[in-house]
Amino acid sequence: MSGVFRLAVDCMGGDHGPSVTLPACRAFLAAHPSAEVILVGRADALAEAKAWPRCTVIAASEVVEMDDPIEVALRRKRDSSLRVALNQVKPDADGRANAQACVSAGNTGALMAVSRYVLKTLDGIDRPAIAAVMPNQRGRYTTVLDLGANVDCTAEHLLQFAVMGSALVAAVDGKENPSVGLLNIGEEEIKGSEVIKRAGELLRRAADDGHLNFCGNVALKTAEGAAAMFVSVMKEEFSRNPLTKLAALMALPVLKHFRARLDHRRYSGGALLGLRGLVFKAHGSSDAFAFEQALNRAYDAASNGLLERVHDRILETLAATPAVPGDTNGPDARLTA
């Protein structure tokens, strides 16, 4: 890794705002001598940071609250710290941006919608996806997409998520050919909805063409150690009919086990993949340690060329994939702001 990497930080987002984001940014700068930060928020709240080295402060007069509707974040709060921070990642006509990644602990729905409006999606991507990590039985962690950000996905969307997640694991973890699993109610190919079955077909085809290391369906009981990453529409899958609702009840002990072992502070920093800029989401309840972990993940992704890797893998993998017809369900890209 060489060169200077600059992160734009929404300092007002989350439950605690500058009381958490400022100490986290200071610790991050101390640990990364080649890094710079652009701190965005109300001027009075960020006054102490103006004297910091390798730090630029940009004032924003508004804050997207954690309970603000998406429409408010998009249409009414145009000078919010969230939106101004995202604008730092937006490339200009020459393809240059003020920052290589943006980090926020703010309202997830607003962050996704404003990110999509400001940055747009990469060619070949219909919807952004949130990628987060959870610990697995091997003492490492598994990257998970899409964690409910899109609940009505098509099979083609799941293929796109798999390609983006594979690029993320390759960039941040150094695994050039990570295993990919499709989270399902069972491991057999005949199980699951028609969307899941079709997604399995597309993933197997991509694997046959050498674009993905697809290991097949992953049942919840084995998900912790089965793959370096997996893609999921389980919120929809588990509410499909009485049998899948029963499967959800049976899976509750596993989910509780995940939760008991998951210190969210260590795994903070979910990536919003598929955008024309890097955006990372910290937990809204993050303390300074958790927010610093999100900054670290954003820095690692930027310095390892995640955006370029996602772009290249999408071009390689999805060129022959059927387009998604009439995708009118994406989150608010069509709103005018």
> 243, 103 in Cβ contact below 8 A?
no
324 belongs to a structural domain: no
pLDDT class of 190 with cuts at 50, 70, 90: confident
Structure confidence at residue 303 (pLDDT): 93
Q: Which of 144-153, 169-178, 230-239 has the lowest mean pLDDT?
A: 230-239
Instruction: Give residue 148's pLDDT band: very low, low, confident or very high (50, 70, 90).
Output: low
Per-residue pLDDT, 317:
77
Both 66 and 162 in a single domain? no
Q: What is the CATH number of the domain that holds 104?
A: 3.40.718.10
Other C-beta atoms lying within 10 Å of the C-beta of residue 43: 12
Same domain, 93 and 174: no
Q: Does any domain span residue 313?
A: no
How are strands ordered across the β-sheet holding 55-59?
Answer: 55-59, 35-41, 5-10, 101-104, 278-281, 270-273, 129-135, 141-146, 229-231, 179-184, 213-219
Per the structure, how many domains does the chain have?
2
Give 212 or 218, the one with higher predicted confidence: 212
| Separation CA 180–CA 163 (nearest Å) | 9
Query: Do 297 and 205 belong to one domain?
Result: no
Q: How many CB atoms lie within 10 A of CB 282?
A: 30
Within a domain: residue 96? Answer: yes
Considering the domain architecture, whether residues 233 and 295 belong to the same structural domain is answered as: no
Q: Give dist(CA 63, CA 12) in Å, integer.
A: 6
Whether 144 is in a domain gets the answer yes
Reported as a single tens digit per residue, the pLDDT across 268-324 is 778 999 999 999 999 999 999 999 999 999 999 999 999 998 888 888 876 655 554
Q: How far apart are CA 63 and CA 71, in angstroms?
A: 14
Model confidence band, residue 172 (pLDDT cutoffs 50, 70, 90): confident
Residue with tokens 């997409």: 145
CA dist., res. 114 & res. 331, Å (int): 10
One domain, residues 137 and 62: no
State whether 32 and 86 are in the same domain: yes
Shared-domain flag, residues 106 and 164: no
**Which pLDDT score, from 0 to 100, does residue 142 have?**
81
> In this structure, are 77 and 172 located in the same domain?
no
Question: What is the 3-state secondary structure of the chain?
Answer: CCCCEEEEEECCCCCCCHHHHHHHHHHHHHHCCCEEEEEEECHHHHHHHHHCCCEEEEECCECCCCCCCHHHHHHHCCCEHHHHHHHCCCCCCCCCCCCCEEEECCCHHHHHHHHHHHHCECCCCCCCEEEEEEECCCCCEEEEEECCCCCCCCHHHHHHHHHHHHHHHHHHHCCCCCEEEEEECCCCCCCCCHHHHHHHHHHHHHHHCCCCEEEEEEEHHHHHHHCCEEECCHHHHCCCCHHHHHHHHHHHHHHHHHHHHCCCCCCCCEEEECECCEEEECCCCCCHHHHHHHHHHHHHHHHCCHHHHHHHHHHHHHCCCCCCCCCCCCCCCCCCC
According to DSSP, the β-strands at 270-273 and 129-135 are antiparallel
How many whole angstroms separate alpha carbon 73 and alpha carbon 88? Answer: 17
Asked if residue 269 belongs to a domain, the reply is no
User: Are 133 and 116 contained in the same domain?
Assistant: no
| Domain extent at residue 90 | 5-122+274-304
Residue 22 forms part of a structural domain: yes
Percent of the chain with pLDDT over 90: 50
Lowest average pLDDT, out of 126-135, 139-148, 266-275, 317-326, goes to 317-326
Residues 192 and 134 in one domain: yes
Residues 141 and 251 in one domain: yes
Amino acid identity of 251? A
Residues 45 and 155 in one domain: no
Whether 83 maps to a domain, the answer reads: yes
Q: Please tell me the least confidently modeled range out of 33-47, 67-81, 179-193.
A: 179-193
Residue 331 banded pLDDT, cuts 50, 70, 90: very low
Residue at 54 is within a domain? yes
Report whether pLDDT(195) > 70.
yes
Identify the pLDDT of residue 187. Answer: 74
Mean of the per-residue pLDDT values of the chain: 82
